[in-house]
Structure 1
Amino acid sequence: MDYFLHLVVLGTIYSILAVSLNISVGYTGLLTLAHAAFYGVGAYAVGILTVEYNVNFFFALLLAMPAAGVVAAMVSPILRLKGHFFILGTVAVQLMLTQVLFNWISLTKGPFGIPGVPSPVIFGLKLNTPPTFLLLSVPVMIIVVLLAARLVNSPFGRVLKTIRANPSVAESIGINVDLYRLRVFVITAMMAGVAGGLYASYTRYVHPSAFDVVFSTFILIMVILGGTGRWMGSVLGVVGLITIQESVRFIPALPANMVGPVQIMAYSGVLFAVMMLRPQGLIGAYKLE
């Protein structure tokens, strides 16, 4: 039961990531492979603040949001790139930030990571087990999902849909496309920072390898599987991919050292099938182009 609840905790964290990425990919048309980088910034912000400076977790979590947002703003010149060049630009950002985490040893401890991140405490209850941590991760996930739903259904969200449909038309009617893309890029990075902060306090250890381009791809597959342009599709994609991931563990006679490679093959197969048979995902509003 504890392992199942552990998966539920991860599911809530991944849902925050997928919902935020879907705002960028599904509603704005910004297909990015740098989301794990901002997730990592949030995780390291919480890890460094709580371990090195004894900052309260909840205050550190609040600071993780602007930390991720500032980093996103710093790399935002890549938004000038279009199409495949933008995707390659986000890959470059992801690889660059991963190397920063590995090599800025005085701040991030480099390949040693940051152990001993304290568990959150609410009203004297230490949230250091899956059942107790759900008391935090579920409400935070619900808040983020509701905020995302409100955002995409607001006038701001309708502008994003216009930009996604045809940026040239959006510009012709006076919409500042570059400004809206920048806002989305920063807002979704801040959401990813929240997820990273939760992850750091749950696992109690932060390491650069957890925030690499492979994980960015993993998040994107969740969004594509569930469907772009539907926030509920993101949550469905998380459930689907975690189910696939864990099902591989129960394949008879599969050696332990083959579980990881087979999981990656399964993800690839699912992605290929979805892109071929239903490009918009299970309940998506748009085809990924």
Structure 2
Amino acid sequence: MAGQIYKKMAFSLTYQKSIIPVSNEITDIVLSYVKQKTNGRPLEMAVDVGCGTGRYTLPLAPHFKKVLGLDISESQISVAKHVALANNVSYMVAAAENLPLKDASVDLVHAGLATHWFTIDTFVKEAVRVLKMGGCFATHAFVPIFELEYKHLSHDLNGVMKEVWDIFAKHLNNSVNEMFCQYQNVYEAIPLKDKEHITDILLKSPVFLPDVIGFLEIFYMYQDFKEKDAKKAEQFLKQTEERLREILGEEADSACMNMYMKHYCVLAYKQ
């Protein structure tokens, strides 16, 4: 099963270290939507489903009295608890398809970079069940492909990246396909009338070469490649780094590149 990789502690630690930083732009979209729909009323409870190591759980903390992070992976929850910095945040091991919450008890059901791993119809029904009247649902992720920009070298850098994506494409599964479709199926599964689907949000992140290689390493497609042929996968990643380093030349260790990725959000309001 694809999601099994997230249950390994070694991977969870690597994931926490190498995943791209939280997108403030996406967080702002979610929080602005919640504030608009709730007319500024006090917000009691948010649940972050598929919270992983808590990357998006903590940014919710200042806006709610309590935030609960849920994930099926004990190792991800363990790492999340270790890095937790907010007194009003707690974590629990639980499945997205069986939320351990009472009916109409939550102001926000949130899932960042996670919903593609869930049984979508079941998760959406659970989310609607636990939402209060006047509560919000928000899920978001990014298309699992990126482009690099650096001075006059962008074309050559992305020539290497195209070959990476061609190899990764051999290891796609249905979960990753949901990401490429920008959660269209998630949007359609939501039974609420008041909903929005925001696509093609192109965001830029500053990255150095180790960031790029570390990010590629935690892609599920690479992990699947590695599981099937560890030696070949590791050699491929090493060669990719060497080729990017050769293009960057003397600036390889100091070059701050721009990484562009498409993000998207699905938002809904329970009236």
Same fold (TM over 0.5): no
TM-score (norm 2): 0.24
Q: TM-score, normalised by structure 1?
A: 0.23
Higher share of residues assigned strand: 2
